[in-house]
Amino acid sequence: MNERVDPVERAFLGVERSVSGQRWQQRLDQAGLNRALAMSQTHGMPELIARVIAGRGVGVADAPAFLDPTLRDLMPDPYTLTDCEKAAERIARAIDRGEHVAIFGDYDVDGASSAALLYRFLWHFGLEATIYIPDRIFEGYGPNPAAINQLIDDGAQLIVTVDCGSTSIDSLAAAAARDIDVVVIDHHQVGHELPIAHALVNPNREDDLSGQGHLCAAGVVFLVLVALHRLMRQRNDPRAASLDLLSLLDLVALATVCDVVPLKGLNRAYVVKGLIAARHMSNPGLAALFVKAGIGGPVTPYHLGFLVGPRINAGGRIGDAALGSRLLTIDDAGKAAEIAAKLDDLNRERQEMEKIMLAEAEAEALAEYGTGEGASVIVTARDKWHPGIVGLIAARLKERFSRPAFAIAFDPSGKGTGSGRSIPGFDMGRMVRAAVDEGILLKGGGHAMAAGLTVERGNLGRVRSFFEEMAGKQVSELVEDQMLDIDGALGASGATFDLIDQLEKAGPYGSGHPQPVFALPFHRILECRYVGTNHIRVSLQAMDGARLEAMAFRAVDTDLGRFLLSSRGDQVHVTGSLSADYWQGSRRIQFRITDAAKAV
């Protein structure tokens, strides 16, 4: 007698191993399916939408509030953050006294947005602050004593670090030695030893009980500004009444999406309300970037993360690190257009450099590891690679080989600067810190999904061996057990604008709140062709004759791309996400293919 198998436990559509090596499974277990059904019946929502929401941990009673997140309900009292009151009072004192404030930021989107937020707030109250963004190559991340001393020499009476500073012991000591107050507003992990600072606002410090550790730096800055705004109102400053803090949420949304922090709780409200602000085009710098990026429809998280963010980051990667923050603080539309054009040029230059570096990295990886199946961690290294781009190369290698991957750029002295990206389930930061403890790396750190390192050329072999030994068994098991969670099945005729609109209300999607994945079962590939440099456009037809246009992005020379191109005329199962595409003023339905399997 055959043992019965729970339908929920079976592979979705019977796909035990897809083209990309994944087992397809239903995201919800039986309890989750029951919860989705109850949600649908209680609130009158489509069952597919209820499945999506239930699959992201939302309870039946919480569904209505989840679909309409508000800052009022989700924002904590800023004073629950350790030192937030001290920070707000010190900055308020600077406003009252007309002090010269210097803002020290990071060179990425979160740093630029955080600096711009604080700058715009202070400008409204009559202070023109100085923004200092360090050079990625020559200064590295965070405050350094030379820069701190230069800011003080230039007249800074208060220094506020944003998106950095929590571990800058020596640099902040340099400010303390000259009797200059420093306020740190950050979100990075904090060590046991804290730097000398008038206030250190960081929800990830050990003595912070706010529960807001998932915020990016701009999200923390906004909470400090809420507290500061309240103080200025209490002091009856007439300028407080004319400040619309919500209009600044476009910058918070930009940073939240680009820093890939979990889109839950307050972060989700930040992005939902920030997108509304962004669509008003009230920030000339952002508006100029929207034009340069060719955004034709309403601004979405995709636009922020994949079109706007890379252009701002291009300045920090290969150009002037301060361009991003300068763009986000400017009010002159003409000057904003000039800076946006410069960042657009830098981004194209970055793309060309990335293309060359990626080809070299993939060739090295194939020579060193073959198809990667025998390797646990991919480590590539080259002279003359640009250290500002190695993180992007590592991300592409991780996608190509489904393994944790590093790319390292060596300078003429033999010192390598590297960046790594991990796969879900493997803590890359812990591995890098262990290599530092063993003396194999000069320095390094990070978190589970990404890490940075510095290594001497002579130790590259030891690094490869150490990573392979430490990661081997766990990565092999993770790769072998790759699963793709699927929210539900759709036919081409079910992919409607109404469904897309309802899915958008359940968003925004990103880290911690994944994009819904749908399967299209038994669809025939009518057409399949190359588009652009490495994308594939596919026309799908359901069994009832309905058709749907789909795209497989960056699929050329991948297993997925080869499968699609060789399956013209065949019935297949495909998985992916549903979205609306805007082109020349028209709105079109598009399915983004992420995986596929033979239909049997």
pLDDT digits (tens, 9 = 90+) for 171-187: 999 999 999 999 999 99
Dmax over CA atoms of the chain, in Å, equals 85
Residue 93 in any domain: the answer is: yes
pLDDT of residue 1: 39
| Domain stops at, among 427, 452, 480 | 480
Kindly state whether residues 136 and 195 are assigned to the same domain.
yes
Mean pLDDT of the chain: 93
Q: Does the pLDDT at position 3 exceed 50?
A: no
Neighbouring C-beta atoms of residue 549, cutoff 10 Å: 16
| Domain stops at, among 445, 480, 515 | 480
Q: How many domains does the chain have?
A: 3
**Span 141-166, average pLDDT:** 96
pLDDT of residue 275: 95
| Contacts of 591 by beta carbon, 8 Å cutoff, 6+ apart | 495, 520, 540, 548, 549, 550, 551, 574, 576, 577, 578, 579
Report which of 178, 188, 211 is spatially closest to residue 75, judged by C-alpha positions.
211
Residue 314 in any domain: the answer is: no
Kindly state whether residues 232 and 375 are assigned to the same domain.
no
Residue 168 in any domain: the answer is: yes
pLDDT of residue 55: 95
pLDDT of residue 4: 41
Q: What is the pLDDT of residues 414-465, one digit of tens each?
A: 999 999 999 988 999 899 989 999 999 998 887 788 888 999 999 999 999 9
Q: What is the pLDDT of residues 220-231, one digit of tens each?
A: 999 999 999 999
pLDDT of residue 584: 67
Q: How confident is the model at residue 484 (pLDDT cuts 50, 70, 90)?
A: very high
- Residue ranges making up the domain that contains 217: 73-244
Kindly state whether residues 395 and 472 are assigned to the same domain.
yes
Residue 388 in any domain: the answer is: yes
Q: How confident is the model at residue 158 (pLDDT cuts 50, 70, 90)?
A: very high
| Domain stops at, among 424, 451, 480 | 480
Kindly state whether residues 22 and 145 are assigned to the same domain.
no
**What does DSSP say about strands 415-421 and 405-410: parallel, antiparallel, or unpaired?**
antiparallel
**Span 533-554, average pLDDT:** 94
Q: Does the pLDDT at position 21 exceed 60?
A: yes
| Contacts of 410 by beta carbon, 8 Å cutoff, 6+ apart | 381, 382, 383, 385, 416, 457
Residue 362 in any domain: the answer is: no
**Span 293-305, average pLDDT:** 89
Residue 92 in any domain: the answer is: yes
Kindly state whether residues 452 and 548 are assigned to the same domain.
no
Q: Does the pLDDT at position 347 exceed 70?
A: yes
CA distance 567 to 217: 47
Kindly state whether residues 476 and 504 are assigned to the same domain.
no
Q: Does the pLDDT at position 7 exceed 70?
A: no
pTM of model > 0.75: yes
Q: What is the pLDDT of residues 187-226, one digit of tens each?
A: 988 878 899 999 999 999 999 999 999 999 999 999 999 9
- Kindly report the backbone phi and psi dihedral angles of residue 65, in degrees, each rounded to the nearest multiple of 5, phi listed first: -70, -35
Provide the CATH number for the domain around residue 529.
2.40.50.140
Q: How confident is the model at residue 316 (pLDDT cuts 50, 70, 90)?
A: confident
Kindly state whether residues 19 and 140 are assigned to the same domain.
no
Q: What is the pLDDT of residues 39-71, one digit of tens each?
A: 999 999 999 999 999 999 999 999 999 998 999
Q: Does the pLDDT at position 325 exceed 70?
A: yes
Kindly state whether residues 92 and 229 are assigned to the same domain.
yes
Kindly state whether residues 222 and 88 are assigned to the same domain.
yes
Kindly state whether residues 517 and 430 are assigned to the same domain.
no
Q: What is the pLDDT of residues 230-264, one digit of tens each?
A: 999 999 999 999 999 999 999 999 999 998 888 99
Structure tokens at 587: 């709105």
Q: Does the pLDDT at position 84 exceed 70?
A: yes
- DSSP state for residue 263 in the 8-state scheme: -
Buried/exposed code over 485-524 (b: 16+ C-beta within 10 A; e: otherwise): bbbbbbbbebbeeebeebbbebbbbbbbbbbbbbbbbebb
pLDDT of residue 137: 80
| Contacts of 461 by beta carbon, 8 Å cutoff, 6+ apart | none
Provide the CATH number for the domain around residue 419.
3.10.310.30
**Span 271-282, average pLDDT:** 95
Residue 35 in any domain: the answer is: no
Kindly state whether residues 136 and 209 are assigned to the same domain.
yes
Kindly state whether residues 185 and 85 are assigned to the same domain.
yes
pLDDT of residue 581: 80
Provide the CATH number for the domain around residue 77.
3.90.1640.30
Residue 175 in any domain: the answer is: yes
Q: How confident is the model at residue 371 (pLDDT cuts 50, 70, 90)?
A: low
